[in-house]
């Protein structure tokens, strides 16, 4: 089943859900801010995205700027930062089997449907 990591307060995330609905897809909504991902879950998602962990970080978030910006961090430290501060995770993320995509732009979601 398709999954979408969703933040209800995010316009792009809401647009991602609307796109999935418009495409007639059945999907599961994961409110990752309410139920934190584990390191293993986030590592698996990053693998499916086929990107470096840093590419998933929202670098304009205050917590990134205050606690992490300019520091030399390993991939595991970046993943740990996102697990501990889920606001740092870019959204929406749509997962379909062994592939995932960040829905920015929203049309990118169609590439894995």
Cβ 2 vs Cβ 96: under 8 Å: yes
Nearest to 88 by CA among 50, 44, 33: 33
| 10 is known as an active-site residue | yes
Q: Which of 10, 51, 108, 113 is catalytic?
A: 10
Q: Supply the DSSP string of 48-71, one letter for each residue.
A: HHTS-GGGGB-TTSHHHHHHTTTS
How does strand 93-96 pair with strand 99-102? antiparallel
Residue range 8-51, pLDDT digits in tens: 999 999 999 999 999 999 999 999 999 999 999 999 999 999 99
109, 108, 68, 72: which is closest to 88 by C-alpha? 68
pLDDT per residue as tens digits for the range 50-77: 999 999 999 999 999 999 999 999 999 9
> What does the pLDDT read at residue 7?
96
Q: What's the pLDDT score for residue 32?
A: 96
Note the pTM of the prediction, 2 decimals. Answer: 0.94
Supply the pLDDT for residue 90.
97
């Amino acid at each position: 089943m398709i999954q979408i990591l969703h933040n209800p307060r995010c316009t792009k995330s809401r647009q991602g859900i609307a796109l999935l609905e418009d495409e007639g897809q059945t999907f599961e909504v994961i409110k990752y801010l309410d139920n934190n991902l584990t390191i293993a879950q986030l590592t698996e998602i990053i693998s499916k995205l086929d990107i470096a962990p840093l590419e998933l970080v929202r670098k304009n978030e205050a917590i990134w700027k205050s606690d992490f910006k300019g520091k030399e961090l390993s991939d595991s430290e970046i993943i740990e930062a996102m697990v501990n501060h889920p606001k740092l995770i870019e959204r929406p993320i749509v997962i379909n089997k062994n592939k995932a995509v960040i829905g920015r732009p929203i049309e990118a979601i169609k590439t894995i449907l």
